[in-house]
Amino acid sequence: MSSAQAMATPNDAKQRPILFTGAMVRAILDGSKTQARIVIKPNKAFVPGTLELDPDGAPVAVVNLTGCMADVRCPYGQPGDLLYVRETWRPRILNGALFQAGPDGKSAGRFSSSMRSRRSCLGFGVQYREGFAHMRTECYAKQFADCTEPTQTGDLVSSRWKPSIHMPKWAARLWLRVTEVRVERVREISDEDVKAEGIGRFVDGCGWGWDRESCLSSEYDGWGTPERAFETLWDSINAKRGFGWETDPWVWVVTFERAEKP
């Protein structure tokens, strides 16, 4: 898939999920991350290890049944499509009732007996671990007349944090519009793209890193070059899955910009 593809129109734009670690969510929130590299993993219909690029730069691989080359489609869409970010989250109890249904209030809604008797519940919310110190919460109680932030600590009770993989689309706060998709080896990354991946200097007098914590970490103590910082970040996410920096895997390079929630 090349960057020369026509951009999807708003009516044709598809919506797909994408997972990011907490550090990468913070980088998107502060505007330093506008690109992501994700390992290309063709499904079981393709013969493992046969991935290559055709003359147009699109990925192809050998199909098990036919032995012929076929396109490997990008699971993150094409320019113009939307991605909703799945991140660590939890539903929030506001004034006595916990709702785990969608914003339409249908199915799986859980109302406490106190809510039925007092009708004091203002709704339910979603809390995100990144930005938790600032009580970053989105409220989805459209079926109620009012939906406001609790005014006292006692009004707020939250369930346990839920893994990003279990975040439903309606709960996502970060939406991204794909502007370019291409394929390359991960070690072909340019200096400019390293910074687009969220690598920067976040602390004066410290080396390169992907957030303030990585720059100050006693384990890493910053890096002398942005490329070395990105290599370490890559391995921290992908090495345990067999796609470490040294293996130089094929990756989808997805460039994006922030978008409004549809």
Query: How many Cβ atoms sit within 10 Å of the Cβ of residue 172?
Result: 22
Class of residue 215 by CB neighbours under 10 A (exposed 0-12, middle 13-18, buried 19+): buried
Q: Are residues 58 and 137 in the same domain?
A: no
Q: Which domain holds residue 71?
A: 15-85+172-259
Domain membership of residue 181 (yes or no) is yes
pLDDT at 138: 44
The CATH number that applies at residue 79 is 2.30.130.30
pTM of the predicted model as reported, rounded to 2 decimal places: 0.74
Query: Which of 130, 165, 200 is where one domain is finished?
Result: 165
Q: Are residues 79 and 180 in the same domain?
A: yes
Domain membership of residue 230 (yes or no) is yes
Strand ranges across the sheet with 15-19: 15-19, 82-86, 175-185, 250-259, 35-39
Domain membership of residue 148 (yes or no) is yes
DSSP-assigned letter for residue 45 = T
Quote helix, strand, coil % in the chain, to nearest 5: 25, 30, 50
Domain membership of residue 3 (yes or no) is no
- How many folded domains does the chain comprise? 2
Q: Are residues 92 and 79 in the same domain?
A: no
Domain membership of residue 2 (yes or no) is no
pLDDT at 89: 87
Query: Which of 165, 199, 222 is where one domain is finished?
Result: 165
Residues in the chain: 262
pLDDT at 189: 96
CA-to-CA distance for 202 and 115, rounded, in angstroms?
A: 46
Could you report the average pLDDT of every consecutive run of 10 residues in the chain (262 residues)?
Answer: 53 89 90 94 85 86 89 92 93 51 39 36 67 44 36 47 89 94 94 93 73 63 78 93 94 96 90
CA-to-CA separations, 259 to 85, 155, 170, 174, 184, in angstroms, rounded: 11, 32, 15, 8, 26
In the numeric block, the tokens 């991605």 are attached to: 83
CB 131 within 8 Å of CB 211 = no
pLDDT at 208: 81
